[in-house]
Structure 1
């Protein structure tokens, strides 16, 4: 996907082969172990991992409501790339997430890019802790793989 200046990107290297990192993104049981902040329980309401398939993950909030993450897988290139629409309710709707994996000397380089519709939406994500939040999740991902 082209960089139109509305993308927030995180790059990480994991001390694990690509197949293990791929499983962490593609397997519903493995995703539940790292998705979200530390100490958060994730309920995997739906995870239809195929192009056109939907996903929906719920994180209970202290007030009794749920933080909802959901979208539809647009592109899946096994072991290499996932592109999905994404809504993070109640905060953000209408973004596209792109995960690219590549092997580097027995480790996995991950490029995680979130494409926003507007500059305002991108700025809101940054202010709400995009890098800290996803960074914490990817720390958990590193422990899982």
Structure 2
């Protein structure tokens, strides 16, 4: 089953909201968001590979990675985890190194649903409308949708493995 990714950017508000449901329990979805070995497999557009610098999901932990295109072009990102409350919530900053100084703060809340499913609700706050709009105009939606589709496959594999134990 494929779940839709819903991205909302209300006019004149510097926010982006992303809601996605997964056919997996909350602890497994949280793990996929917080385990560096899993994050590199799903985060970002299909055409890019991820080179992870650090990914330390804990209060005060840092993260950094480069998404690399097939021609070698790199797109760097970094941030700090301000709060990590397994399996409920992650709050972090997000900065694209191609536009330094435009740091957003993002929270992702993981809600348990019936039937062993999970809803992830992300809320990103940008310093300006221009920064928010630049994020949208530079392909964010495609990368988020493609990444979530890959995450579905990873979660199914992890769930199958857990069920076989």
CA distance in 2, matches of 1:103, 1:89: 34
* CA drift at 1:129: 2.5
TM-score computed with the length of structure 1 as normaliser: 0.89
Among candidates 140, 152, 156, match of residue 142 of structure 1: 152
Separation in 2 of the partners of 1:53 and 1:91?
22
Residue 126 of structure 1 is matched in structure 2 by 136
List gaps (5 residues or longer) in structure 2: 1-11, 156-165
What's the CA shift for 1:38? 1.3
**Whose Rg is larger?**
2
Q: Which runs of 5+ in 1 are unaligned?
A: none
Higher alpha-carbon deviation: 26-35 or 115-124: 115-124
| Residue 7 (structure 2) pairs with residue 27 (structure 1) | no
State the 1:62 CA deviation: 4.2
| Aligned residue pairs, count | 142
2:125 counterpart of 1:115:
yes
Local SS of the residue matching 1:16: coil
C-alpha contact (below 8 Å) 1:52/1:74 kept by paired residues:
yes
The Cα shift of 1:91 comes to: 4.5
SS at match of 1:51: coil
Q: CA RMSD in A?
A: 1.7
Partner of 1:103: 112
Residue 82 of structure 1 is aligned with which of 78, 86, 90? 90
2:147 & 2:136 partners in 1: Cα distance? 16
More strand by share: 1
Measured in 2, the distance between the counterparts of 1:13 and 1:91 equals: 31
Single out whichever of 54-63 and 29-38 deviates more from structure 2: 54-63
1:50 aligns to what?
Answer: 58
Task: Calculate the TM-score normalised by the size of structure 2.
Answer: 0.79
